[in-house]
Structure 1
Amino acid sequence: MKLSFTNSIKSMVASLLLAAISAMVSPCAQAAVENPATIREVVRNFVRAHLPDQSADVHIQLDGPAPGIHFPACSKLKVAYFGYSNPYGNQTVQVHCQSPSPWQLYLPVQIQMDQSVVIASRPLSAGSILQAGDLAVVRRDTSGLGGNTLNSPQEAIGKILRFGTLAGQPITTSMLNAPDVVHAGEQVTLYAEGNGIRIATIADAIESGRPGQSIMVRNLQSGRVIRGTVTAQGHVVVDF
Protein backbone atom coordinates (compact mmCIF):
# COMPACT_ATOMS: atom_id res chain seq x y z
CA MET A 1 0.00 0.00 0.00
CA LYS A 2 2.83 2.35 0.96
CA LEU A 3 4.76 1.43 -2.21
CA SER A 4 1.73 2.15 -4.39
CA PHE A 5 1.31 5.55 -2.78
CA THR A 6 4.99 6.36 -3.37
CA ASN A 7 4.68 5.41 -7.06
CA SER A 8 1.63 7.65 -7.38
CA ILE A 9 3.58 10.59 -5.94
CA LYS A 10 6.45 9.96 -8.39
CA SER A 11 4.00 9.77 -11.29
CA MET A 12 2.43 13.09 -10.31
CA VAL A 13 5.85 14.76 -9.97
CA ALA A 14 6.89 13.44 -13.40
CA SER A 15 3.67 14.75 -14.94
CA LEU A 16 4.21 18.18 -13.39
CA LEU A 17 7.82 18.30 -14.64
CA LEU A 18 6.72 17.32 -18.17
CA ALA A 19 4.07 20.03 -18.15
CA ALA A 20 6.60 22.61 -16.98
CA ILE A 21 9.08 21.63 -19.68
CA SER A 22 6.35 21.81 -22.35
CA ALA A 23 5.41 25.29 -21.18
CA MET A 24 9.02 26.43 -21.59
CA VAL A 25 9.30 25.25 -25.22
CA SER A 26 9.29 28.10 -27.80
CA PRO A 27 5.91 28.62 -29.53
CA CYS A 28 7.71 28.24 -32.92
CA ALA A 29 8.87 24.78 -31.82
CA GLN A 30 5.29 23.77 -31.04
CA ALA A 31 3.56 25.48 -33.99
CA ALA A 32 3.97 24.59 -37.66
CA VAL A 33 7.03 26.22 -39.23
CA GLU A 34 7.61 27.41 -42.79
CA ASN A 35 9.75 25.03 -44.81
CA PRO A 36 13.10 26.77 -45.61
CA ALA A 37 13.10 25.03 -49.00
CA THR A 38 9.75 26.68 -49.77
CA ILE A 39 11.11 30.10 -48.83
CA ARG A 40 14.14 29.62 -51.09
CA GLU A 41 11.98 28.43 -53.99
CA VAL A 42 9.65 31.45 -53.71
CA VAL A 43 12.64 33.81 -53.73
CA ARG A 44 14.31 31.98 -56.63
CA ASN A 45 11.11 32.19 -58.73
CA PHE A 46 10.75 35.90 -57.91
CA VAL A 47 14.33 36.69 -58.96
CA ARG A 48 14.08 34.61 -62.14
CA ALA A 49 10.83 36.37 -63.13
CA HIS A 50 12.61 39.75 -62.92
CA LEU A 51 15.63 38.80 -65.02
CA PRO A 52 15.99 40.27 -68.54
CA ASP A 53 14.35 38.31 -71.35
CA GLN A 54 17.68 37.14 -72.79
CA SER A 55 18.82 35.59 -69.48
CA ALA A 56 18.49 31.93 -70.48
CA ASP A 57 21.61 30.49 -68.86
CA VAL A 58 21.60 31.82 -65.29
CA HIS A 59 22.44 30.40 -61.87
CA ILE A 60 20.77 31.87 -58.77
CA GLN A 61 22.54 31.30 -55.44
CA LEU A 62 20.67 32.02 -52.19
CA ASP A 63 22.12 32.42 -48.69
CA GLY A 64 19.68 31.42 -45.91
CA PRO A 65 17.49 31.05 -44.04
CA ALA A 66 20.11 30.32 -41.38
CA PRO A 67 19.97 26.79 -39.90
CA GLY A 68 18.21 26.61 -36.55
CA ILE A 69 16.10 29.73 -37.10
CA HIS A 70 12.45 28.85 -37.64
CA PHE A 71 9.63 30.99 -38.97
CA PRO A 72 5.92 30.25 -38.38
CA ALA A 73 4.04 28.75 -41.32
CA CYS A 74 2.66 31.49 -43.56
CA SER A 75 -0.61 31.55 -45.48
CA LYS A 76 1.00 33.61 -48.29
CA LEU A 77 4.63 34.69 -48.66
CA LYS A 78 5.23 38.13 -50.16
CA VAL A 79 8.54 38.88 -51.85
CA ALA A 80 10.14 42.19 -52.91
CA TYR A 81 13.55 43.61 -53.67
CA PHE A 82 15.22 45.34 -50.73
CA GLY A 83 17.11 48.40 -51.89
CA TYR A 84 18.55 48.57 -55.42
CA SER A 85 17.37 45.73 -57.67
CA ASN A 86 20.29 44.81 -59.87
CA PRO A 87 19.23 42.03 -62.27
CA TYR A 88 22.85 41.49 -63.31
CA GLY A 89 24.55 41.02 -59.94
CA ASN A 90 24.21 40.65 -56.20
CA GLN A 91 21.01 41.80 -54.55
CA THR A 92 18.90 41.40 -51.41
CA VAL A 93 15.33 40.07 -51.37
CA GLN A 94 12.82 40.67 -48.57
CA VAL A 95 10.43 37.86 -47.64
CA HIS A 96 7.39 39.05 -45.69
CA CYS A 97 4.52 37.22 -43.99
CA GLN A 98 1.38 38.92 -42.65
CA SER A 99 -0.67 36.01 -41.34
CA PRO A 100 -1.22 34.08 -39.26
CA SER A 101 1.97 35.32 -37.52
CA PRO A 102 3.75 38.34 -39.03
CA TRP A 103 7.48 38.03 -39.71
CA GLN A 104 10.08 39.04 -42.31
CA LEU A 105 13.61 38.13 -43.32
CA TYR A 106 16.20 39.28 -45.87
CA LEU A 107 18.02 36.86 -48.14
CA PRO A 108 21.21 37.77 -50.06
CA VAL A 109 21.09 36.58 -53.67
CA GLN A 110 24.00 36.11 -56.07
CA ILE A 111 23.38 35.82 -59.81
CA GLN A 112 25.75 34.21 -62.28
CA MET A 113 24.67 34.86 -65.85
CA ASP A 114 26.47 33.09 -68.70
CA GLN A 115 25.75 34.44 -72.17
CA SER A 116 27.40 35.40 -75.43
CA VAL A 117 29.63 38.45 -75.08
CA VAL A 118 31.46 40.42 -77.75
CA ILE A 119 35.14 40.96 -76.86
CA ALA A 120 38.16 42.56 -78.51
CA SER A 121 40.09 39.86 -80.35
CA ARG A 122 43.29 41.93 -80.10
CA PRO A 123 44.48 45.18 -78.47
CA LEU A 124 42.63 48.15 -80.00
CA SER A 125 43.38 51.87 -79.79
CA ALA A 126 40.90 54.66 -79.11
CA GLY A 127 39.33 56.01 -82.29
CA SER A 128 39.45 52.67 -84.11
CA ILE A 129 36.59 51.96 -86.48
CA LEU A 130 35.67 48.40 -85.53
CA GLN A 131 35.82 45.67 -88.15
CA ALA A 132 34.73 42.02 -87.96
CA GLY A 133 38.34 40.89 -87.44
CA ASP A 134 38.66 43.09 -84.34
CA LEU A 135 35.93 41.20 -82.51
CA ALA A 136 35.15 37.74 -81.17
CA VAL A 137 32.25 36.14 -79.26
CA VAL A 138 32.71 34.07 -76.09
CA ARG A 139 30.50 32.66 -73.33
CA ARG A 140 31.10 34.53 -70.09
CA ASP A 141 29.52 35.35 -66.72
CA THR A 142 28.08 38.84 -67.26
CA SER A 143 26.79 39.44 -63.72
CA GLY A 144 29.64 41.84 -63.01
CA LEU A 145 29.65 43.60 -66.38
CA GLY A 146 26.40 45.53 -66.17
CA GLY A 147 23.59 45.50 -68.68
CA ASN A 148 25.32 47.11 -71.67
CA THR A 149 27.35 44.21 -73.06
CA LEU A 150 26.93 43.26 -76.73
CA ASN A 151 25.74 39.85 -77.90
CA SER A 152 26.53 40.17 -81.61
CA PRO A 153 29.52 41.70 -83.46
CA GLN A 154 27.04 43.40 -85.82
CA GLU A 155 26.17 45.76 -82.96
CA ALA A 156 29.75 47.09 -82.94
CA ILE A 157 31.02 46.80 -86.53
CA GLY A 158 31.46 50.22 -88.13
CA LYS A 159 31.31 52.10 -84.82
CA ILE A 160 34.15 54.09 -83.29
CA LEU A 161 35.90 52.90 -80.14
CA ARG A 162 36.04 55.62 -77.50
CA PHE A 163 38.73 53.96 -75.37
CA GLY A 164 41.69 51.70 -75.98
CA THR A 165 41.09 48.03 -75.10
CA LEU A 166 43.08 44.91 -74.31
CA ALA A 167 42.63 41.59 -76.08
CA GLY A 168 39.75 39.73 -74.43
CA GLN A 169 38.13 42.84 -72.97
CA PRO A 170 34.31 42.92 -73.34
CA ILE A 171 32.96 45.61 -75.67
CA THR A 172 30.06 47.57 -74.16
CA THR A 173 27.68 50.13 -75.65
CA SER A 174 29.21 52.90 -73.51
CA MET A 175 32.57 52.30 -75.25
CA LEU A 176 31.21 53.04 -78.73
CA ASN A 177 30.33 56.08 -80.78
CA ALA A 178 28.40 56.06 -84.02
CA PRO A 179 30.55 56.98 -87.05
CA ASP A 180 30.46 60.48 -88.53
CA VAL A 181 27.71 60.89 -91.12
CA VAL A 182 28.72 64.48 -91.92
CA HIS A 183 32.31 65.34 -92.79
CA ALA A 184 34.01 68.73 -92.67
CA GLY A 185 34.25 70.39 -96.08
CA GLU A 186 31.30 68.62 -97.69
CA GLN A 187 27.95 70.15 -98.51
CA VAL A 188 24.90 69.13 -96.50
CA THR A 189 21.19 69.85 -96.54
CA LEU A 190 20.39 72.38 -93.81
CA TYR A 191 16.84 72.42 -92.42
CA ALA A 192 15.45 75.34 -90.42
CA GLU A 193 12.39 74.24 -88.42
CA GLY A 194 9.86 76.03 -86.21
CA ASN A 195 6.12 76.70 -85.77
CA GLY A 196 5.25 73.91 -88.20
CA ILE A 197 7.45 75.39 -90.92
CA ARG A 198 10.46 73.64 -92.48
CA ILE A 199 12.85 75.43 -94.84
CA ALA A 200 15.65 73.61 -96.66
CA THR A 201 18.86 75.08 -98.03
CA ILE A 202 22.46 74.02 -98.71
CA ALA A 203 25.35 74.58 -96.29
CA ASP A 204 29.05 73.78 -96.03
CA ALA A 205 29.97 71.61 -93.04
CA ILE A 206 32.73 73.30 -91.04
CA GLU A 207 32.97 70.33 -88.65
CA SER A 208 32.40 66.59 -88.89
CA GLY A 209 29.66 65.05 -86.79
CA ARG A 210 27.69 61.95 -85.94
CA PRO A 211 23.91 61.64 -85.31
CA GLY A 212 22.81 63.83 -82.40
CA GLN A 213 26.01 65.86 -82.35
CA SER A 214 26.02 69.64 -82.67
CA ILE A 215 28.29 71.05 -85.42
CA MET A 216 28.95 74.36 -87.16
CA VAL A 217 27.91 74.89 -90.79
CA ARG A 218 27.94 77.87 -93.18
CA ASN A 219 24.70 78.75 -94.96
CA LEU A 220 25.68 79.18 -98.62
CA GLN A 221 22.78 81.56 -99.28
CA SER A 222 23.36 84.00 -96.43
CA GLY A 223 26.99 83.27 -95.60
CA ARG A 224 26.12 83.00 -91.91
CA VAL A 225 27.84 80.43 -89.71
CA ILE A 226 25.34 78.66 -87.49
CA ARG A 227 25.26 75.60 -85.26
CA GLY A 228 22.87 72.71 -85.90
CA THR A 229 22.23 69.10 -84.94
CA VAL A 230 23.26 66.21 -87.17
CA THR A 231 20.54 63.70 -88.09
CA ALA A 232 20.94 59.98 -88.82
CA GLN A 233 20.34 60.78 -92.51
CA GLY A 234 23.36 63.14 -92.65
CA HIS A 235 21.36 66.37 -92.60
CA VAL A 236 21.74 69.30 -90.19
CA VAL A 237 18.76 70.84 -88.40
CA VAL A 238 18.45 74.23 -86.64
CA ASP A 239 15.45 75.58 -84.75
CA PHE A 240 14.02 79.06 -85.23
Structure 2
Amino acid sequence: MNRYRHPWAARRWLARLLPVLALGMGATATRAQADWSQVVQRWADAAVHSSGLAEKSPLRLQVDVGALDPSLRLAPCARAEPYLPAGARLWGRSRLGLRCVDGPTRWNVFIPVTVQAFGPAWVLAGNVPAGAVLTAADAVESEVDWAAAPAPVLADPALWVGQVAARPLQAGQALRQSMVKAPQLFSMGAQVRVSAQGPGFAISTAGQALSAGSAGQNVRVRMTNGKIIEGIVLEDGTISALL
Protein backbone atom coordinates (compact mmCIF):
# COMPACT_ATOMS: atom_id res chain seq x y z
CA MET A 1 0.00 0.00 0.00
CA ASN A 2 1.20 3.49 -0.83
CA ARG A 3 2.42 4.99 2.43
CA TYR A 4 1.49 8.48 1.11
CA ARG A 5 -1.99 7.48 0.02
CA HIS A 6 -3.60 9.83 2.49
CA PRO A 7 -3.14 13.63 1.93
CA TRP A 8 -2.18 14.22 5.56
CA ALA A 9 0.66 11.68 5.27
CA ALA A 10 1.98 13.36 2.11
CA ARG A 11 1.86 16.75 3.79
CA ARG A 12 3.79 15.39 6.76
CA TRP A 13 6.44 13.94 4.41
CA LEU A 14 6.76 17.24 2.55
CA ALA A 15 7.04 19.13 5.82
CA ARG A 16 10.06 17.01 6.74
CA LEU A 17 11.60 17.27 3.25
CA LEU A 18 11.24 21.02 2.57
CA PRO A 19 13.76 22.17 5.21
CA VAL A 20 16.32 19.78 3.72
CA LEU A 21 15.67 21.09 0.20
CA ALA A 22 15.83 24.69 1.40
CA LEU A 23 19.14 24.02 3.13
CA GLY A 24 20.56 22.53 -0.05
CA MET A 25 19.32 25.41 -2.20
CA GLY A 26 20.68 27.95 0.29
CA ALA A 27 24.10 26.30 0.22
CA THR A 28 24.08 26.36 -3.59
CA ALA A 29 23.15 30.05 -3.63
CA THR A 30 25.86 30.80 -1.09
CA ARG A 31 28.49 29.02 -3.15
CA ALA A 32 27.38 30.89 -6.29
CA GLN A 33 27.56 34.23 -4.52
CA ALA A 34 31.01 33.42 -3.18
CA ASP A 35 32.10 32.57 -6.74
CA TRP A 36 30.80 35.92 -8.03
CA SER A 37 32.64 37.74 -5.25
CA GLN A 38 35.84 36.03 -6.39
CA VAL A 39 35.18 37.19 -9.97
CA VAL A 40 34.78 40.76 -8.72
CA GLN A 41 37.92 40.45 -6.56
CA ARG A 42 40.03 39.38 -9.55
CA TRP A 43 38.59 42.17 -11.69
CA ALA A 44 39.23 44.82 -9.00
CA ASP A 45 42.80 43.59 -8.39
CA ALA A 46 43.53 43.79 -12.12
CA ALA A 47 41.93 47.25 -12.46
CA VAL A 48 43.94 48.70 -9.56
CA HIS A 49 47.15 47.10 -10.84
CA SER A 50 46.62 48.40 -14.40
CA SER A 51 46.16 51.96 -13.09
CA GLY A 52 49.91 52.12 -12.49
CA LEU A 53 49.38 53.98 -9.21
CA ALA A 54 51.57 51.58 -7.23
CA GLU A 55 54.44 52.02 -9.71
CA LYS A 56 54.14 55.83 -9.89
CA SER A 57 53.87 56.47 -6.14
CA PRO A 58 55.12 55.06 -2.82
CA LEU A 59 51.71 53.54 -2.11
CA ARG A 60 51.04 49.93 -1.18
CA LEU A 61 47.58 49.07 -2.48
CA GLN A 62 45.14 46.57 -1.01
CA VAL A 63 41.70 45.71 -2.42
CA ASP A 64 39.03 44.06 -0.27
CA VAL A 65 35.79 43.01 -1.95
CA GLY A 66 32.80 42.50 0.30
CA ALA A 67 30.08 39.90 0.00
CA LEU A 68 26.81 40.02 -1.87
CA ASP A 69 23.67 40.53 0.15
CA PRO A 70 22.92 36.99 1.46
CA SER A 71 19.20 37.57 0.93
CA LEU A 72 19.71 37.77 -2.85
CA ARG A 73 18.64 34.79 -4.92
CA LEU A 74 20.36 35.24 -8.26
CA ALA A 75 19.21 33.30 -11.30
CA PRO A 76 21.77 30.98 -12.90
CA CYS A 77 24.21 32.86 -15.13
CA ALA A 78 26.95 31.50 -17.39
CA ARG A 79 28.89 34.78 -17.44
CA ALA A 80 28.70 37.97 -15.41
CA GLU A 81 30.78 41.10 -15.91
CA PRO A 82 32.02 43.41 -13.15
CA TYR A 83 32.04 47.15 -13.88
CA LEU A 84 32.66 50.47 -12.18
CA PRO A 85 29.36 52.36 -11.73
CA ALA A 86 29.11 55.97 -12.90
CA GLY A 87 30.44 58.34 -10.26
CA ALA A 88 32.29 55.61 -8.36
CA ARG A 89 36.05 55.17 -8.20
CA LEU A 90 38.44 52.55 -6.91
CA TRP A 91 39.60 54.57 -3.90
CA GLY A 92 38.51 54.20 -0.29
CA ARG A 93 35.04 52.82 0.34
CA SER A 94 33.18 52.33 -2.92
CA ARG A 95 31.16 49.74 -4.80
CA LEU A 96 31.37 47.71 -7.98
CA GLY A 97 28.58 46.51 -10.20
CA LEU A 98 28.10 42.95 -11.41
CA ARG A 99 25.71 42.20 -14.27
CA CYS A 100 24.70 38.92 -15.84
CA VAL A 101 25.38 39.01 -19.60
CA ASP A 102 24.76 35.35 -20.42
CA GLY A 103 21.79 33.78 -18.71
CA PRO A 104 18.05 33.21 -19.00
CA THR A 105 17.42 36.11 -16.61
CA ARG A 106 19.57 39.23 -16.71
CA TRP A 107 20.36 40.71 -13.33
CA ASN A 108 22.46 43.55 -11.96
CA VAL A 109 23.78 43.79 -8.39
CA PHE A 110 26.32 45.83 -6.45
CA ILE A 111 29.14 44.66 -4.19
CA PRO A 112 30.96 46.83 -1.62
CA VAL A 113 34.69 47.28 -2.18
CA THR A 114 37.40 48.99 -0.14
CA VAL A 115 40.68 50.13 -1.68
CA GLN A 116 43.40 51.00 0.82
CA ALA A 117 46.54 52.87 -0.20
CA PHE A 118 49.23 52.72 2.48
CA GLY A 119 52.08 55.20 2.23
CA PRO A 120 54.21 57.73 4.13
CA ALA A 121 52.43 60.75 5.58
CA TRP A 122 52.66 63.22 8.44
CA VAL A 123 50.66 62.45 11.57
CA LEU A 124 49.94 64.99 14.30
CA ALA A 125 51.92 64.39 17.47
CA GLY A 126 49.43 66.31 19.61
CA ASN A 127 46.22 68.30 19.50
CA VAL A 128 46.29 71.57 17.53
CA PRO A 129 43.67 74.28 18.17
CA ALA A 130 41.89 75.99 15.28
CA GLY A 131 43.83 78.97 13.97
CA ALA A 132 47.21 77.79 15.26
CA VAL A 133 50.15 77.98 12.87
CA LEU A 134 51.62 74.53 12.23
CA THR A 135 55.35 73.96 12.71
CA ALA A 136 57.59 71.04 11.78
CA ALA A 137 57.45 69.88 15.41
CA ASP A 138 53.67 69.34 15.25
CA ALA A 139 53.80 66.11 13.23
CA VAL A 140 55.83 62.94 12.83
CA GLU A 141 56.20 60.76 9.75
CA SER A 142 54.26 57.51 9.69
CA GLU A 143 52.46 55.14 7.33
CA VAL A 144 48.74 55.79 6.84
CA ASP A 145 45.94 54.82 4.51
CA TRP A 146 45.78 57.70 2.02
CA ALA A 147 42.38 56.50 0.81
CA ALA A 148 40.79 56.55 4.28
CA ALA A 149 39.38 60.07 3.66
CA PRO A 150 38.48 62.05 0.51
CA ALA A 151 40.90 64.96 1.07
CA PRO A 152 44.44 64.47 -0.31
CA VAL A 153 47.27 63.70 2.10
CA LEU A 154 49.89 66.45 2.57
CA ALA A 155 52.96 64.26 2.20
CA ASP A 156 55.35 67.19 1.66
CA PRO A 157 56.01 69.28 4.82
CA ALA A 158 56.25 72.38 2.63
CA LEU A 159 52.51 72.06 2.06
CA TRP A 160 51.56 72.36 5.74
CA VAL A 161 54.42 73.96 7.72
CA GLY A 162 53.44 77.62 8.24
CA GLN A 163 49.79 76.90 7.40
CA VAL A 164 46.94 77.48 9.86
CA ALA A 165 44.73 74.76 11.34
CA ALA A 166 41.33 75.18 9.68
CA ARG A 167 39.60 73.48 12.64
CA PRO A 168 40.62 71.79 15.91
CA LEU A 169 42.93 68.90 14.98
CA GLN A 170 43.45 65.75 17.01
CA ALA A 171 46.63 63.82 17.77
CA GLY A 172 47.06 60.83 15.47
CA GLN A 173 45.32 62.42 12.48
CA ALA A 174 47.15 62.37 9.17
CA LEU A 175 47.50 65.89 7.77
CA ARG A 176 45.23 66.40 4.78
CA GLN A 177 44.45 69.32 2.49
CA SER A 178 41.10 70.14 4.10
CA MET A 179 42.70 70.50 7.55
CA VAL A 180 44.87 73.55 6.86
CA LYS A 181 44.56 76.92 5.20
CA ALA A 182 46.87 79.81 4.39
CA PRO A 183 47.39 82.33 7.20
CA GLN A 184 45.39 85.56 7.00
CA LEU A 185 47.62 88.41 5.81
CA PHE A 186 45.16 91.27 6.29
CA SER A 187 41.62 91.85 7.56
CA MET A 188 38.59 93.44 5.92
CA GLY A 189 38.96 97.21 5.68
CA ALA A 190 42.76 97.15 5.89
CA GLN A 191 44.85 99.37 3.64
CA VAL A 192 46.65 97.21 1.10
CA ARG A 193 49.16 97.78 -1.66
CA VAL A 194 47.90 96.98 -5.16
CA SER A 195 50.21 96.34 -8.07
CA ALA A 196 48.68 96.36 -11.53
CA GLN A 197 50.03 96.01 -15.00
CA GLY A 198 48.75 96.29 -18.51
CA PRO A 199 50.07 96.84 -22.03
CA GLY A 200 53.06 99.13 -21.63
CA PHE A 201 52.54 100.17 -18.00
CA ALA A 202 52.85 99.03 -14.39
CA ILE A 203 51.58 100.87 -11.31
CA SER A 204 51.58 100.42 -7.54
CA THR A 205 49.00 102.17 -5.42
CA ALA A 206 46.99 101.85 -2.22
CA GLY A 207 43.46 100.56 -1.76
CA GLN A 208 41.05 99.25 0.86
CA ALA A 209 40.44 95.51 1.15
CA LEU A 210 36.75 94.61 1.04
CA SER A 211 37.42 91.24 2.71
CA ALA A 212 40.11 89.46 4.68
CA GLY A 213 42.85 87.95 2.54
CA SER A 214 45.26 85.02 2.53
CA ALA A 215 47.94 84.12 0.01
CA GLY A 216 46.44 82.81 -3.21
CA GLN A 217 42.93 84.16 -2.58
CA ASN A 218 40.97 86.40 -4.92
CA VAL A 219 39.89 89.61 -3.18
CA ARG A 220 38.13 92.83 -4.10
CA VAL A 221 39.74 96.21 -3.39
CA ARG A 222 38.25 99.72 -3.46
CA MET A 223 40.73 102.12 -5.03
CA THR A 224 41.14 105.76 -3.93
CA ASN A 225 39.02 106.91 -6.88
CA GLY A 226 36.16 104.64 -5.74
CA LYS A 227 36.66 102.02 -8.44
CA ILE A 228 36.50 98.39 -7.28
CA ILE A 229 38.95 95.91 -8.76
CA GLU A 230 39.81 92.25 -8.14
CA GLY A 231 43.21 90.73 -7.61
CA ILE A 232 45.17 87.81 -6.18
CA VAL A 233 46.86 88.07 -2.78
CA LEU A 234 50.60 87.46 -3.01
CA GLU A 235 52.81 85.91 -0.32
CA ASP A 236 53.92 89.35 0.93
CA GLY A 237 50.33 90.60 1.34
CA THR A 238 50.26 92.78 -1.76
CA ILE A 239 47.55 92.31 -4.36
CA SER A 240 48.28 91.67 -8.00
CA ALA A 241 45.54 92.98 -10.30
CA LEU A 242 45.24 92.94 -14.07
CA LEU A 243 43.70 96.14 -15.44
The normalised TM-score by structure 2 is 0.62
- After TM superposition, give the deviation of residue 141 of structure 1 in Å: 2.9
Instruction: Please say if residues 144 and 174 of structure 2, whose CA atoms lie closer than 8 Å, have aligned partners that are also in contact.
Output: no
1:121-144 deviation line (CA, Å, top 9, x unaligned): 222222222211122222223443
Q: Which residue of 1 aligns with 2:9?
A: none
Equivalent pair of 1:63/1:107 in contact (CA under 8 Å):
yes
Cα RMSD for the two superposed structures: 4.0
| Cα distance between partner residues in 2 of 1:96 and 1:125 | 49
Unaligned runs of 5+ residues in structure 1 are: 1-25
Point out where structure 2 has 5 or more consecutive residues left out of the alignment.
1-24
C-alpha contact 2:58 2:119 (8 A) present in aligned 1: yes
1:163 Cα deviation after fit:
1.7
Question: Superposition pairs for residues 206-221 of structure 1, below 5 Å?
Answer: 206-207=208-209, 209=213, 210-216=215-221, 218-219=223-224
1:188-212 alpha-carbon deviations (Å, 9 max, x no partner): 352165xxx4642222354463222
| Identity %, equivalent residues | 14
After TM superposition, give the deviation of residue 63 of structure 1 in Å: 2.6
1:165 aligns with 2:169: yes
* Cα distance, 1:96 vs structure 2: 3.1
Equivalence map 1:72-151=2 (5 Å): 72-74=77-79, 78-82=81-85, 84-99=87-102, 104-151=108-155
* Residues 136, 153 of structure 1: 8 Å contact kept: no
Instruction: Give, in angstroms, the shift of residue 84 of structure 1.
Output: 3.8
What residue identity is the alignment partner of 1:106? F
Partner of 2:66: 63
Structure 1 residue 55 displacement after superposition: 7.2
The number of residues matched between the two structures is 201
- Whether the aligned pair in 1 keeps the contact of 2:41 and 2:64 (CA below 8 Å) is no
Equivalent position SS for 1:168: coil
Q: Deviations over 1:162-183 (max 9, x none)?
A: 2222222332212222245679
Per the TM alignment, residue 99 of structure 1 is displaced from its structure 2 partner at its CA by 4.2
- Partner Cα separation in structure 2 for residue 182 and residue 200 of structure 1: 23
* Partner SS, residue 90 of structure 1: strand
| Contact 2:44–2:63 under 8 Å retained in 1 | no
Alpha-carbon separation, structure 1, partners of 2:102 and 2:162 = 59
Relative to structure 1, the CA distance from residue 51 to residue 92 in structure 2 (aligned partners, 3 Å threshold; closer, same or farther) is farther
Distance change (3 Å), C-alpha of 1:95 and 1:191: same
Give the counterpart letter for 2:43 in structure 1: V
Determine the C-alpha separation between the residues in 1 that align with 2:170 and 2:40.
43
230-239 vs 40-49, greater mean Cα deviation? 230-239
| Aligned CA distance change for structure 1 residues 132 and 81 (closer, same or farther; 3 Å) | same
Q: Retained in 2: the 8 A contact 1:137–1:153?
A: no
**In the alignment, does 2:193 pair up with 1:191?**
no
3-state DSSP class of the match of 2:92? Answer: coil
Cα distance 1:69–1:230, how it changes in 2: closer, same or farther (>3 A)? closer
- How do residues 37-48 of structure 1 correspond to structure 2 at under 5 angstroms? 37-48=38-49
Q: 1:138 to 1:96 in 2, by over 3 A?
A: same
1:233 Cα shift?
A: 6.2
Confirm or deny that 1:153 pairs with 2:157: yes
